[in-house]
Structure 1
């Protein structure tokens, strides 16, 4: 690698850091004779850890940070005076292969600014994936960012080479998207999402008939929404997420706390720091929607349009519905156990399986991974003597479970030293 390519790489990796939707692939791509690499265990996470403890990383980079759009929230908008760079297809392919051979990475997450038009940019992204797969026989993980407005043919070709495709929704509502990004609309985002869904479903049908039929984006698709840049409530955001999960190929919706990179633009809020707590609560609520059988209206409603920032969404729901508790862990059904704060999916399954053989008590619950600090106020079992939410009340339990703020100890001696 020469100095010019390294300088380009520094600029383009810095420009790519605001895209958070680089995720695990959920697919297994084994090595082939004469090929390079594989996707082991279905993981391809950017600087994260797999289930067996391995640290896995992706080369997260943009093909170019030039862009014809002027989106208010984007660091790469055309009106910004920032260092710009563009990697050629061959340069990026060589970088990926060199990094893989040196064991720096296990895959590629590739996005790009829009140059000329969406199809021109998408075609260059596809060429990178195609050269890696067909010329270099690369079997590692590839995540391509599909360009909004790209044609169906290019999205279909991308799905033949990439493990996962994603199209960023960015702003949840059309009205606010038009205000901050006048050149974009939701239609240009939802169409590629539909193309990806159709490609995955058609590929699955072909593989039922022909065992060795090629797979189309085997890890499905993901998307990202910015949190805090516009006036949408958590209810608005979760409604959009819930409808997206109705698409059978949508694997993850990512939430990115708004980072004030363009403070001069008056259309944007003046935030001193990203709303990280709100972002975390949205991820927790998203988890409840996908794995705990909650509905959006149960977590947020017209009376509570935003998630509670002090406690997690599951605990907040339990405190608002004391009439549902306490739950007897020895008789309650699986669905109700999932709604108990401190009981997760694995713990609930363990409880249902174990109580067929003996009655469950405090010690058994703890061994199953139940967080008793929370759960003890919402359950009853053999020998649990604690008072429940019915005796203590929701307000008292909330105070007990809120993190304690450090108090100043007035009883300690203090010394003042003066140094000349």
Structure 2
């Protein structure tokens, strides 16, 4: 890219844009706000594009840290105070200059501003507030802005900032209080939850005010989000999803993000540097998160203390279905919407189309395919006017084997990196255990596997 600013500012940009790549919380704006005739930029509901560079940065946002000069010593963080790394700090005007310059060149659609804790939480939050205030009032920027709330900062600063931005997030960092005590002693869980509760309560108040008063100023109209690091500590998937479910219920989170831990620091409490990040596990957590948010599942349905981790070979919905064959087959002409959602191969859109279409007549499997139903998955779990798609044995082992034969579309980074796949051995257990039958014992003895 051409050099737009002086070398000093470009060097800061290089350091602080690279430092921001570990923050995964870039999403669409979720708001629809126009600027009138005097400002620059809009925030459109379908707005921020889901476009990511090779190292995970969302290239449609100017995604930077205000500073990577941190006073905390979190074991897992590349910016911890004990690390010998390049440090840089933007001034509020420098962030404004960069944002406006990139926006006018059509490189970005908004700003994602995070920060390490510089000096103390309140000082850092004040810098973030001053930056956003200048963007809105001096530079008249009306585009999408997402900032991080700094735990431990003065609540008044968080509230003032919330009236200027579209989304705020406060990272939970690690799923459990035990993990935080071990790896981030400066961040007690109570301190992290306090700004989440403040933001949630103020959003609720603001919605009532906006409904009553035409000119009321909205507070964080795109909602709040959070992020958890996965794989740095030993929590099970069941613990992680239980925490996420609680966050959605108690704090009305818009999104919970899961960030596969990238080994950047040598420490006996962490996975060794060079260990591949658990990208496939991260992918399964996002799939389960989607099931909880939109498909009516509970964490306790997907996992349990007896089965605390997701099956890496099957997506969570298929894995649940083959373990609950007593709930199937589902008749598409009579099943309610939420029953249809539990069928592998049916999504929100296809379930809605089925519910609409069946009012006007009978449905055939050919019709389901046109509606977007993935029959190669759904065929084992549905009937259509009392008929099955093709004869098969309603058996957990048979269905599991056939589902494993289907090539699942995994995210590009999982496929490219190979994630943490390894050579299988005879002692691997991916939660596909079946009761050993007499026929199995006979075949083992005779070699007819």
TM-score, structure 1 as length reference: 0.92
Residue 378 (structure 2) aligned to one of 372, 375, 380: 375
Q: Unaligned stretches of 5+ in structure 1?
A: 50-54, 406-420
Equivalenced residue count is 397
- Offset at 1:249? 3.7
In structure 2, the partner of 1:395 is: 397
Residues 1:44 and 2:48 aligned together? yes
Residues 1:303 and 2:306 aligned together? yes
Residues 44 and 329 (structure 1), Cα distance of their counterparts in 2 relative to 1, 3 Å cut? same
In structure 1, the partner of 2:335 is: 332
- Offset at 1:137? 1.0
In structure 1, the partner of 2:177 is: 174
Residue 68 (structure 1) aligned to one of 67, 71, 78: 71
Whether the 8 Å contact between 1:377 and 1:387 is mirrored in structure 2 is no
Describe the SS at the equivalent of 2:24. Answer: coil
Looking at structure 2, the residues matched to 377 and 209 of structure 1 have their Cα atoms a distance apart, in angstroms, of 51
Pairing 1:136-215 to 2, within 5 Å after superposition: 136-215=139-218
Q: Unaligned stretches of 5+ in structure 2?
A: 408-449
Residues 1:226 and 2:226 aligned together? no
Whether the 8 Å contact between 1:366 and 1:372 is mirrored in structure 2 is yes
- Offset at 1:248? 5.4
Whether the 8 Å contact between 1:70 and 1:77 is mirrored in structure 2 is yes
Looking at structure 2, the residues matched to 333 and 278 of structure 1 have their Cα atoms a distance apart, in angstroms, of 31
TM-score, structure 2 as length reference: 0.86
Residues 1:15 and 2:16 aligned together? no
Looking at structure 2, the residues matched to 132 and 249 of structure 1 have their Cα atoms a distance apart, in angstroms, of 28
Whether the 8 Å contact between 1:44 and 1:56 is mirrored in structure 2 is no
- Offset at 1:47? 2.4
Residues 385 and 290 (structure 1), Cα distance of their counterparts in 2 relative to 1, 3 Å cut? closer
Looking at structure 2, the residues matched to 385 and 244 of structure 1 have their Cα atoms a distance apart, in angstroms, of 40
Residues 385 and 369 (structure 1), Cα distance of their counterparts in 2 relative to 1, 3 Å cut? closer
Whether the 8 Å contact between 2:197 and 2:251 is mirrored in structure 1 is no
Residues 1:108 and 2:111 aligned together? yes
Q: Report which stretch shifted further, 367-376 or 324-333.
A: 324-333
Residue 92 (structure 1) aligned to one of 84, 92, 95: 95
